[in-house]
Structure 1
């Protein structure tokens, strides 16, 4: 795939996609109480404003990632962005709750197509140090976007209405689509066709698992509405595995699952997501309920987290270049362990002396580790980058959803952070497997770009060079 003549606008379009997805999630959560008053939602109905998005987004990520490989990544990125943008307009103008929930589900469809395709485009458009920087920016936007969403969501809801929050992602979505149309070249299509049985089984399995988790957290883990999908999910996912083994062109290509490093990287990303989602949720609840902060003040309180996520993501590239990916992963995981240890088993007294140090450690650690593990999980041949990105997005989404549900079930601030501490210790244990030097030799894998980049999707063939240069780049 040819690099764009102006990489800046191309990266801006891809980063705007990630900003849009993260911004929407945090801003909508802040607007829920006002939205309930205006549209007359019940408690159960209000939860579907969030769940409709989560279910379609989580269920369609694998299919969305693979669609870019087969149909063209630029084409599918544009389709996803325009779908999300149109759905945001519909949500903001929704006359009743039914239309709003349908619009949120449609946003999930657009996000499931655009998000993995954007990550795949970074892997193919950028190479060497530029790829490391691009992934650092992409990852940093994720952390900053959450806090921006909290602040803007609170301000817009108080000053205008919840509808302004729904319209918030329209401009970033439209701008990203227009920039991509002008500055991102189309990728060559991979030969093949969609694995329809695999896509159906994967979507239903992810849907059932996600539904069981969100329903269990709200209605109880022993209710029929939780137990039925919880029992169906492993059966559907097992059937998906069987179907993939028999399919001539599987939805998750065999080259992706044959590499143990990639499997460890996806597991590590799931645990990092559980740590990030879970600790963010717990600390947000404590700031509002324990310390009495409002939505906008809570968003401002999270700014150190966001700034350090940004800094950590940008630091990952030079750290990997000097000491390799294992150093970046270990440093990031160790920082999250320290943050969880500060809060495990106890409730902080105040913000400055209790919450702030943990926020800073979590932010720095998550920024470093997310960047490095994304790069490790994206080592794949160019024609499979979309599938690899979809797999990473599924790991992130399901890890965050299931991890948060476990913390809600545990209950109690200090006890829940004991579980967070276990998540972080498990990430440390996985680092040696996710950053093995020999991993690049797995079937279908490509050597990593020149200086060991940060979180990246090594999609393109490395630049020609001496054999010794290529050997050094396989870390």
Structure 2
């Protein structure tokens, strides 16, 4: 939700309807919130099949994951500001529709660049689902009921992250990788059907006369694209490389322009005054610390498997994609939900004419026989 209307408990905000009528709103939001992290963590399991079907090179294939991450990170704040102007249910509906359409486009993709673009659109829709879904719950519920609703919000998101790889593995094995993207679209259609019931329990939004801060939104998105791309590519290009340094410098320059523009807006997308609130800044740093912890745990617990195709380590050791569940999927998904993407989810091109054996988790060996034609020999 935009910081210029930071609290739904504002005296100018009409009171939401009470009673059992709020249940459809809660169910619709939670169902959408469940789908997004399941799709995020499950996509990594589908990458080997996608690579084989599209004959994709390493760089574009890993952007099937990274495109979603970057778009999600860039548009979360933007959607919060838009929701305060056009209405939270409308913004949520737009995000659900966009995510569903992008998922269908992903399912019908014939090449990896098409898939990359569709996943970026899905990331924009996913940002709306999380940002506006949370705003809907904050408006519809109050007091202890609001606390319980947000507890369910977080729990469902975590369950989605945990179940995503296993469910994606089942879909890949039985129906093919395209259903990893088609299945969420089917579920989100049901969410769209339920939205009229959500609108009935939402209070009428007061007219503020504010307009969408197009300039501020565009500058923020550009800055976040530069920053997240630098983070994503840093481990590959080298943190001291000219490209990464230029991306970081560009992000800082655009953020400076963004701050200049926002300080002169009557209705800014982000009221920079909130950054002087220590509690607010501390709350913002909580997911940052958590995401760093998850990424660090993943790197230390899976030193070899992270260099394999997602799910390959389990297949080589006798488990198919359906077995590619937590903890690896949970680490992958949680770091994405906390918007610190990393590029190691993509598979490496096969080496020719040799067998690779690396130490896996708990001292196990991960071996991949390679044929002379550059493909797996078994």
Q: TM class, shorter-chain normalised?
A: 0.7 to 0.9
Contact 2:62 2:343 in 1 (8 A): no
Contact 2:95 2:129 in 1 (8 A): yes
Change (3 A) 1:260 1:168: same
Quick one: which of 146, 153, 164 aligns to 1:131?
Answer: 146
Contact 2:69 2:123 in 1 (8 A): yes
In the superposition, the TM-score normalised over structure 2's length comes to 0.76
Q: 2:205 maps to which residue? A: 188
CA distance in 1, matches of 2:133, 2:45: 27
CA distance in 1, matches of 2:54, 2:344: 28
Quick one: which of 193, 215, 238 aligns to 1:220?
Answer: 238
Name the one with the larger helix percent.
1
CA distance in 1, matches of 2:193, 2:273: 34
Change (3 A) 1:255 1:189: farther
Pairs aligned (count): 320
Quick one: which of 36, 39, 48 aligns to 2:51?
Answer: 36
**What CA deviation, in whole Å up to 9, does each residue of 1:343-402 have, x standing for no partner?**
xxxxxxxxxxxxxxxx9xxxxxx9xxxxxxxxxxxxxxxxxxxxxxxxxx99x644x337
CA distance in 2, matches of 1:119, 1:255: 22
Q: 1:103 maps to which residue? A: 118
Q: 2:137 maps to which residue? A: 122
CA distance in 1, matches of 2:303, 2:344: 13
Change (3 A) 1:20 1:211: same
Structure 1: unaligned runs, 5 residues or longer: 306-358, 360-365, 367-392, 406-411, 415-475
Q: CA deviation at 1:114?
A: 2.3
Quick one: which of 299, 302, 310 aligns to 2:325?
Answer: 299
Quick one: which of 238, 249, 252 aligns to 1:234?
Answer: 252
Q: 2:128 maps to which residue? A: 113
CA distance in 2, matches of 1:286, 1:98: 28
Contact 2:302 2:360 in 1 (8 A): no
Change (3 A) 1:53 1:301: closer
Q: 2:270 maps to which residue? A: 252
Structure 2: unaligned runs, 5 residues or longer: 1-13, 306-310, 346-358, 362-378
Q: CA deviation at 1:172?
A: 2.4
Quick one: which of 277, 281, 285 aligns to 1:267?
Answer: 285
Tell me, yes or no, if structure 1 residue 401 matches structure 2 residue 341: yes
- State the Cα RMSD in Å: 3.1
Q: How does 1:354-365 map to 2 (within 5 A)?
A: none
Tell me, yes or no, if structure 1 residue 140 matches structure 2 residue 158: no
Change (3 A) 1:285 1:134: farther
CA distance in 1, matches of 2:95, 2:164: 21
CA distance in 1, matches of 2:342, 2:286: 14
Contact 1:211 1:229 in 2 (8 A): yes
Q: How does 1:272-421 map to 2 (within 5 A)?
A: 272-280=290-298, 283=301, 289=313, 292=317, 294-299=320-325, 397-398=338-339, 400-401=340-341
